[in-house]
Amino acid sequence: MDKKNNSLRAAAEKQLQHASTIDSTTRSAEELLHELQVHQVELEIQNENLRQSYEAVAESQQDYFELYEFSPVGYLTLSHQGLIEKINLTGATLLGKNHSQLLQRRFAGFINATDTTRWHLFFAQVMRGNEQKTLEVSLKQPNDNLLYVQLHCRPVLKENKQPTLRIVLTDITESKQAAAELVIANKEILLAKDQLQEIINLMPIAIFIKDTQHRIILINKACEKQWGLSFSQVKNTTGSQFFPPEQMTAFLAIDKQAFADGKPHETENLMWNSPLQANRIHHSYKQVVFDESGQPLYLIGVSEDITERKRTEEALIKTQFDLQEAQRVGKIGSWSWDITIDTIKWSDELYKIHNRNPAVPLPTYQENLKFYTPESAVRLNAAVENTLKTGESYQTDLELTQTNQITHWIAAKGEAVKDSNGQIIALRGTVHDISERKRIEKQLTESERHLRAILETTSECVKLVARDGTLLSINAAGLALIEADSEDAVLNQCVYTPLAPEYRDAFQTFNEAVCDGKSGKIEFEMFSLKGTRHWMETHSVPFSLENGDCVQLAFTREITERKRLEKSLHDSELKFRALFDFTSDAIMLYDSMIFDCNQAALTLFGCKTVTEFCTYHPADLSPLEQPCGTNSLILAQQKIATAREKGELRFEWTHKRMDTGNIFVTEVLLSALILNEKTVLQGTVRDITERKAIEEKIQQLAFFDPLTGLPNRRKLHDRLQYAIAINRRNHNQFAVFMMDLDKFKAVNDKLGHAAGDELLKQVAARIIDCLRDSDMVARLGGDEFVFVLENLKIPEMADIIALKVIASLTLPFQLSDNNTVQIGASIGISIYPQHGNTPESLMDHADTALYQAKDNGRSCFAYFSGNGLTLL
């Protein structure tokens, strides 16, 4: 650190000596002294940083010592003679001595005699090499017990080149004891397993056992028969090679659940039987067995093949279901009445038809008659009595009144059941809910009445036309439409005759197609009976007469006014398309995607066809991000949403050509408009790249010096206003430097203005090199420059920067034509807020300080003071 400080001081002294050699008349002892003082401050800062680093290292060393000493693992270091040189608290505990009793003791003395020889050989081998090795030994304890440890050893050379051995001791006594107990337990398990195998094999039910890894460790003879596999085939496997993957997934899922929750699981599942080449249905019961500590040992399962039983049950259920479904779909209920004991039975669907709860006892025959309307009850009772008397079946429609007073129509059928002697012992039958049929019949009657009323009152022409074009019927509206005085004037006449000649063939083809069963629509012109020409629109459907002939049922209305409006709209669209296609601005129409554009849009964005253009989203026609840094897609969605909300939005946008990828700036106007009763957006895009370039050039001329490219007086004024506002709020200071060049006029007079301009450019470059990126330098004109320096220590850093700029500008400048010139610089400094709180006051005071600096020998700087000036 001291060497670095000395080198910095020497460099500073050398620079000052060189500057003073160039122009010794412009330097003073005070300046050299001040520069040395600046470097001294820098050295003191570096020394403070070094002190803090030493303190951090000391703290880290203390943390390391505590981690070492109190680690749960034993650490010790042996000399090349095997003596203990260093040991932590855990290591001392494992050796059964305190720390002071262990140092310089031979480590081998703590090792059990049975392991001593092995330790000596191991120690010699490790010390000769440079690799880490591990050894397990037993240690003698004060209570004569043995402690088993694992030694992780690594040889290390000390600074004096003497080898040492670093050892990590880990207590493995418990794991050794556990391993011994495990060997005994395994022997007992093997014996119990053999005995269990003999018992299980004698049992008639299928039994299997799986370990915690879901491997089969035992199946009995009954299980071998049920699975179609021998124990030798499945032993120590999960069975995945014998059963389909989907079945194995289901088996393992149940096994995992049983191991997880410890509860018994009872399931029915399919299992593939290889000898039978078929799936069988098994009913399985699985239970996990746990040890005394609650750890699972194995899973035992019992299985029964219930395939045949399930098939019988399923067949019975299917038969019952089919019967119930047939009754449900057909809304047919069945019943039986044992007249010997007066007991009635209903099917499920019959309960639904009668809207009765199956849990409520059924009424007797006489009680049941009360649920029908009086007329239906009399008719049903007469039919039943006749069947009981004669044995004849009956069929009748009845009206049923339910508990909610809603009536239903049913079709009832009944027949007699006779015994072997021909005596009637019961009745049985069906009840069919025909409420829907009755409702439809009623609606049909109503519909016919309504249709007749509609035909007589509708404003549209309704007519029937035969296949040959003969008019079969027409309503009053139709007579008025064709200006006929009565039906007699048009019935049985050909409908093709009053049509305009150019539409007759088309209408005849249309009429024949409708009579062949095809519905359709046609527009045509026709003449009324009084000679007036009208546009008509006809919607037609095939209609079957009672004799089976298919004719055209036509609904016709006049559309003359609509045709006139359509023509006007078409003419308007042609005008719009002409304007749309021939405007110089790019225009596109957007809904959720672009669906139309003009030729100007294709040219602007470099697309060949409208089809290609319509495949893009507006964000696709843009770079990934806009100049503001926002993703183009996100910003485009925001603009579109705003335009939809406000109806119109104008903004600037950066686009790209799709053929070359070139970027250009546009002005976009999004306008919401109604198209086909739907709100869409029209985007009008104008390329303003040239306009933006002109605006940028104007901006550059307005705020920057054209010679040096530095900010001008106007830009400087804006920066000062901003700096005052920010630092007033933050209660900070900033400095304003006013500088002009010494000996600049002599360069202009001697070498000309071109050389002067070149010198000013080089001066600007050197000033920028001396300042920070956050600082600002502006040229006011001629050789006057102003600096604005924020976020710095005042006066220390301001002094350094002033000296740095003056020293830099004192060095020679190499101009064109091999001209070398040497100038100087004087600087006046004002400080905000001590010297002013407006741009004007700060610059005026800095200018005052500048003239004082020039009056005091030039190539120096001075601070403004309310009572005078401070010169440096």
Residue for token digits 């009680």?
367
| CA atoms of 719 and 787, how far apart (whole Å) | 11
Predicted pLDDT of residue 155: 92
> What residues does 334 pair with on adjacent strands?
430
Q: For 334-375, what is each residue's pLDDT tens digit?
A: 888 888 888 888 888 888 877 778 888 877 778 778 888 888
Average the pLDDT over 805-825 and give the result: 93
Model pLDDT, residue 8: 44
Compute CA distances 804 → 42, 376, 708, 801, 870, whole Å. Answer: 15, 121, 21, 5, 18
Mean pLDDT to the nearest integer, 286-298: 88
Strands 520-527, 533-544: pairing kind = antiparallel
Show Cβ contacts of residue 455 under 8 Å, excluding neighbours closer than 6 positions: 462, 475
What predicted TM-score, i.e. pTM, was given to this entire model?
Answer: 0.31
**Averaging pLDDT over each range in 134-138, 661-665, 785-789, which range is the top one?**
785-789
Contact 46, 1 (CB under 8 A): yes
pLDDT confidence of 117, banded at 50, 70, 90? very high
Report the C-alpha gap between 419 and 102 in whole angstroms.
114
Record the tokens describing residue 131, joined without a space: 């690799």
Instruction: Work out the average pLDDT over 160-173.
Output: 88
* Average pLDDT value over all residues in the chain: 84
Question: Which amino acid, 413?
Answer: K
DSSP 630: -
Does an H or E element contain 557, and which? strand 550-558
- DSSP-derived 3-state class of residue 525: strand
Q: What is the dihedral of CA 313, 315, 321, 322, to 10 degrees?
A: -170
| CA 664, chain centre distance (Å) | 32
Q: Which two tokens stand for residue 801?
A: 């920067």
Residue 572 lies in a domain: no
Q: How would you classify residue 601: left for phi > 0, otherwise alpha for psi between -120 and 50, otherwise beta? A: alpha
Task: Give the pLDDT confidence score for residue 872 in this predicted structure.
Answer: 45
The phi and psi torsions of 144 (rounded to 5 degrees) equal 70, 5
| Residue 571 counted as domain residue | no
Beta strand residue intervals within 492-549, DSSP E: 520-527, 533-544
Torsion of CA 355, 357, 360, 366, to 10 degrees: 10
- Residue 135, in any domain of the structure: yes
Average pLDDT over residues 140-168: 87
Does 293 share its domain with 373?
no
Is the model's pLDDT at 539 over the cut of 80? yes
Q: Do residues 520 and 536 both lie within one domain?
A: yes
Cα–Cα dist 220/209, whole Å: 9
Q: pLDDT for 51-83, tens place per residue? A: 777 776 666 666 666 667 777 788 899 998 889
Please, what is the end-to-end C-alpha distance for the chain in angstroms? 30
Query: Are 542 and 634 in a shared domain?
Result: no
Gap between the Cα atoms of 461 and 478, Å rounded: 4
| DSSP labels, 702-763 | HHB-TTT--B-HHHHHHHHHHHHHHHHHHT--EEEEEEEEESHHHHHHHH-HHHHHHHHHHH
In the Cβ-directed half-sphere of 536, how many Cα atoms lie within 13 Å? 26
Residue recorded with tokens 């009536």: 407
> 779 and 688, same structural domain?
no
For residues 355 and 646, which has the higher predicted lDDT (pLDDT)? 646
pLDDT at 324 over 70: no
Domain that holds residue 29: 2-45
Please determine, for residue 580, whether its predicted confidence score (pLDDT) is greater than 90: no
The answer on 405 and 336 residing in a single domain is yes
CATH number at 524 reads 3.30.450.20
Structure tokens at 331: 């809304």
DSSP state of 621: G
Residue 254 near residue 267 (C-beta atoms within 8 A): yes
Q: Is residue 215 predicted with pLDDT exceeding 90?
A: yes
Q: How far is it, in rounded angstroms, from Cα 289 to Cα 300?
A: 7
149 and 18 within one domain: no
Same domain, 319 and 299: no
Residue 337 lies in a domain: yes
pLDDT surpassing 80 at residue 19: no
Strand partners for 411: 397, 432
The answer to whether residues 519 and 500 touch, using CB atoms and an 8 Å cutoff, is no
Mean pLDDT of 446-466: 75
Can you tell me whether residue 540 is helix, strand or coil?
A: strand
Q: How many domains does the chain have?
A: 7
Residues 741, 780: Cα–Cα separation, whole Å: 13
pLDDT in tens, 405-428: 667 788 889 999 998 888 998 999
Q: Are residues 166 and 217 in the same domain?
A: no
Tokens 């009832």 sit on residue: 412
Backbone angles phi, psi at 859, to 5 degrees: 50, 40
| CB neighbours of residue 407 within 10 Å | 13
* pLDDT at res. 12: 47
Domain boundary (283, 305, 327) is at 305
Quick one: tokens of 361? Answer: 């006892």
Domain check: are 603 and 666 in the same one?
A: yes
Band the pLDDT of 694: cuts 50, 70, 90: confident
Whether the bond into 706 is cis, omega within 30 of 0: no
Are 605 and 668 part of one and the same domain? yes
Secondary structure of 63-129 in HEC code, one letter for each residue = HHHHHHHCCCCEEEEECCCCEEEEECHHHHHHHCCCHHHHCCCEHHHHECHHHHHHHHHHHHHHHHC
Distances from the Cα of 500 to the Cα of 464, 495, 504, 536, 552, angstroms: 20, 11, 7, 11, 20
Q: State the Cα–Cα distance between residues 563 and 523, nearest whole angstrom.
A: 10
**Does residue 108 fall inside a structural domain?**
yes
Integer angstrom CA distances of residue 440 from 20, 397, 410, 448, 872: 120, 15, 14, 12, 114
CATH code for position 776 = 3.30.70.270
Q: How many CB atoms lie within 10 A of CB 597?
A: 25
The pLDDT of residue 114 is above 70:
yes
**CA triple 686-688-694, angle to 5 deg:** 160
679: tokens are 């709100």
The whole-angstrom separation of Cα 287 and Cα 266 is: 9
Tell me the β-bridge partners of 554. Answer: 463, 540
Q: How far apart are CA 850 and CA 830, in angstroms?
A: 10
Long-range contacts at 66-74 (CB < 8 A, ≥ 24 apart): 73/168, 73/169, 73/170, 74/149, 74/167, 74/168, 74/169, 74/170, 74/171
831 and 748 in a common domain: yes
Distance CA 303, CA 286 (A): 9
**Res 545: pLDDT:** 87
CA–CA gap between residue 652 and residue 686 (Å, rounded): 10
Cβ burial, residue 636 (10 Å; 0-12/13-18/19+)? buried
Q: What are phi and psi of 22, to 5 degrees?
A: -65, -45
Q: Give the Cα separation of 602 and 608 in Å (integer).
A: 6
What b-and-e string marks burial along 420-452, b requiring 16 or more CB atoms within 10 Å of the CB? eeeebebbebbbbbbbeebeeeeeeeeeeeeee
Band (320; pLDDT cuts 50, 70, 90)? low
The answer, yes or no, to whether residue 516 has pLDDT greater than 80, is yes
Q: What residues contact 462, with CB distance under 8 A and at least 6 apart?
A: 455, 474, 475, 477, 478, 553, 554, 555, 556
Residue 447 within a domain: no
Q: Confirm whether 596 is domain-assigned.
A: yes
Q: Give burial (CB, 10 Å; 0-12/13-18/19+) of 215.
A: middle
Pairing of strands 163-171, 663-675: unpaired
Residue 554 lies in a domain: yes
Q: Are residues 599 and 589 in contact, defined by beta-carbon separation less than 8 angstroms? A: no
Residue-level pLDDT at 669: 92
Domain boundary among 638, 663, 693: 693
On whether both 718 and 865 belong to a single domain, the answer is yes
* pLDDT-derived band at 826, boundaries 50, 70, 90: very high
The amino acid present at 40, given as its one-letter code, is: Q
Last residue of a domain, one of 501, 531, 564: 564
What is the model's pLDDT at position 648? 92
In angstroms, rounded to a whole number, what is the distance separating the alpha carbons of residues 73 and 172? 12
CA dist list (Å): 837 to 112, 735, 736, 792: 88, 12, 12, 18
Least confident of 112-116, 120-124, 276-280, 398-402: 398-402
Weakest mean pLDDT among 78-82, 183-187, 698-702, 726-730 = 698-702
DSSP E strand boundaries for 233-330: 265-273, 278-290, 296-305
